[in-house]
Structure 1
Amino acid sequence: MLVLSRKLNEKIRLGDDIEITIVAISGDTVRLGINAPRDLKILRSEIYEEIQRQNREAVTGDELGQSLQLLKELRIDREK
């Protein structure tokens, strides 16, 4: 992990298209401004993790069983 120190209004660049600016510091909270392409999805990690959890739960046991069966069939076909 790269750790950087920045002061108010200082910026960090990620590649050519992403710029992060420190816009406010209050106690133990830092507010960030992010300039990035509109098609880039930016999520807080707790939101991202919740979406991933919900996606895992959305796969029912039947769907999972069907997927496993398909994988077995594909493996058998490749071995022939």
Structure 2
Amino acid sequence: MLVLTRKIGEQILIGDDIVVTVLDSRGEGIRIGIDAPRGVKIQREEVLRAVVEANLAAAQPDPEAEARIKALLRMPVAPAAPKDAEPTGTEPKKPGESA
């Protein structure tokens, strides 16, 4: 790792087309500006790490999911009414049919 000391306004060149500029110094942090071609990905390490961890957690199976599915499959299902059953009065009216 290359370690450099820079003052506000000073720059660091990376390759031929990436420029890092020290913009400000506040307490224990600094503000930097990065000028790079559009095709160069610039990501904050802590954000990338959080996304990876969230994706890994989302990919883990829910340990209780299998038990819940089995319980649903064991639930009794109400039998369907026979086609020739008497109307219960809750069926929608057909066009032109009166009450």
CA RMSD of aligned residues (A): 1.5
Pairwise CA distance, 1:41:
1.6
In the alignment, what sits opposite 2:31?
31
CA distance in 2, matches of 1:32, 1:53: 27
Instruction: Decide which structure has greater helix share.
Output: 1
Structure 2 residue aligned with 1:9: 9
Q: Would the alpha carbon gap of residues 60 and 28 (structure 1) be closer, same or farther in structure 2, given more than 3 Å must change?
A: closer
Deviation larger for 15-24 or 51-60: 51-60
Q: Give the structure with the larger strand fraction.
A: 1
Q: Deviation string for 1:20-75 (max 9, x for gaps)?
A: 000111121200010001122211110011122233334456xxxxxxxxxxxxxx
List runs of 5+ in structure 1 lacking aligned partners.
62-80
Counting only pairs closer than 5 Å after superposition, residues 1-80 of structure 1 correspond to structure 2 as: 1-59=1-59
**Count of residue correspondences:** 61
TM-score (norm 1): 0.65
DSSP 3-state at the match of 1:32: strand
TM-score in terms of structure 2 length: 0.54
Q: Secondary structure, in 3 states, of the residue corresponding to 1:5?
A: coil
